[in-house]
Structure 1
Amino acid sequence: MLKTEYNAFFHQEGDWFVGNDPARGPWSIDACHAGPPTGLIVRALELRVTDKQLVRLTVNLLRPITMNGFQIETEIIRDGRSVCTASALLKDRDGRICASAQSLHIRHGKDIALPTTEVLGPCFEDARPGEFPVREHHHDLPFFADGIEVAYPPGQDDSPGPTTLWMRTLPLLEGEVPSPFQRLCPLADCGNGISRNCELAEARFMNPDVTIAIHRLPESEWLASEAVSHWPPGGIGTAVATLFDQKGAIGTAIQTLLVEPHQ
């Protein structure tokens, strides 16, 4: 069950996107979790490129994304007959760039049956409700974990290590139904938390970026992540997640990680 009075991560005040409590991240009362703003970046890019399907997005997280309001600017880099590339900048009320993004869009081809590899995901019907793996936070206000529902397949739980879970989230924006790609973004940015190798009290595992690539659009509200984190010596890691809807695999999310033990 959701633990929030809000029906979306954000609301609009004029041209500004303003965070509701569930948009907040675990680190600061003033900063968003990166997943929901990534969804709004997707929204802006989908509104800019309407004749092709968004298939890949890389977001660079340059500074904390403020809860009190931001805008998103987009630009088409190159628009060809089959492929388009675009960019986006997320700016706070002081005009500072908090995140930049690059996207790839491809036109739909003819629906021709060709050989493919079907990758089946975890069975949703066998999953059981549970808590989001990362429940610790550095403030006493509601945050991202209060705006999502989680379910675990048999044999999976919220312990550290490689983990598979199902997630359903709030809509991104009050009064709107998110597109399939938009709906995927909050889960896609959670791979480092889902598959953390220890708890927050022992280490930080911050991601300065996230790349999402899909081979088809999700078709269900409940989406799954099968995630693993690699933390070799040196403090640079990755979290790699295969993403699923209830029919099977839909794509991949990769986060580069800064991993630091707590002193």
Structure 2
Amino acid sequence: MNRKTDLSRQTYFHQSADGAFVGNDPARGPWSADHCHAGPVSGLIVRAAETEIGPEKMLTRLTVDLLRPLPLAGLRVAAETTRHTKTLATTRVTVHDLDDTLCATATTMHLARRDLGPVPNVTLSPPILEDAVKGPFPIGEIRHGLPGFANHSEVLYPRNGNQGPGPKTVWMRTPKLLEGEAQSPIQALCPLADCGNGISWNAPTAEMGFMNADLTVQVHREPVSEWLASDSICHWQSSGIGMSQSVLYDTEGPVGAALQTLVLFPPN
């Protein structure tokens, strides 16, 4: 099956004259019409970190703490190197709104690229993209009436795969990060990586909200395909705390994993 159909898709962000990142419709999250989905913002964080460190080292770990809502109206992202050796580098990244309020912090790790030739490895096949079928975005309920992340994400499910509550696997193709700029493979992975809670919810949002307070992505191989998959499960507890965990794939196999700490909130 050909999954290379041409689509006219708006990017997540554009830059204002002063360099701020302004959210387009695809960046809008499900909870508020004025705030971003954290996945595209995580892509901006990766972009800043990769620019800071350079291409000789691969980003292997991203941890984002989401401190406040992320306004669509504009964000400023800054990265600084905290360690840089022959083998590894680390950064600290901050995300501020246009009023200079700190909205998110992040750290990244980057490891030197080497050519070791063939190495022993575990073979784990990805879900089969060619057999996947179109389906709805995993979260059906949106708490506003404006177009957003869900409307601009293409979604496929394994044939006869779960589309209801509980663990599930989803293929997703998402917009590019920024107008006029090619995105890196790990920047492209971030929107899907932040969807684990939305993919594997245990009850619809009309019964229980499930917002993530952080995101950690561990990457062992840069993805090579446009379509990416997440095999996700959520754990919800009566304390109001939860977790989602996801294995992330491209069409060749696993590329990494994602974890989110969840805040559960019953509807008003």
What interval of TM-score do these two structures reach, taking the shorter chain for normalisation? over 0.9
Alpha-carbon deviation of 1:119? 1.4
- 2:38 is equivalent to residue 34 of structure 1: yes
Q: 2:253 aligns with which of 237, 240, 248?
A: 248
The aligned counterpart of 2:165 is: 160
Deviation track 1:83-127 (CA, whole Å, cap 9, x = no partner) reads 111110011000011110000000012232221112111100000
TM-score after normalising by structure 2: 0.94
CA distance in 1, matches of 2:209, 2:76: 29
TM-score after normalising by structure 1: 0.96
Q: How many residues align?
A: 262
Name the aligned partner's letter for residue 12 of structure 2: F
Whether contact under 8 Å (1:132, 1:158) holds in the other structure is no
Alpha-carbon deviation of 1:6? 5.0
- 2:29 is equivalent to residue 25 of structure 1: yes
The aligned counterpart of 1:97 is: 102
The aligned counterpart of 2:76 is: 71
CA distance in 2, matches of 1:175, 1:115: 40
Whether contact under 8 Å (2:10, 2:24) holds in the other structure is no
Name the aligned partner's letter for residue 174 of structure 2: T
The aligned counterpart of 1:12 is: 15
Matched position secondary structure for 1:238: strand
Whether contact under 8 Å (1:225, 1:244) holds in the other structure is yes
Matched position secondary structure for 1:101: strand
Q: Unaligned stretches of 5+ in structure 1?
A: none
- 2:262 is equivalent to residue 236 of structure 1: no
Report percent identity of matched pairs.
48
Matched position secondary structure for 2:48: helix
Whether contact under 8 Å (1:6, 1:20) holds in the other structure is no
- 2:168 is equivalent to residue 195 of structure 1: no
CA distance in 2, matches of 1:146, 1:164: 19
Name the aligned partner's letter for residue 42 of structure 1: V
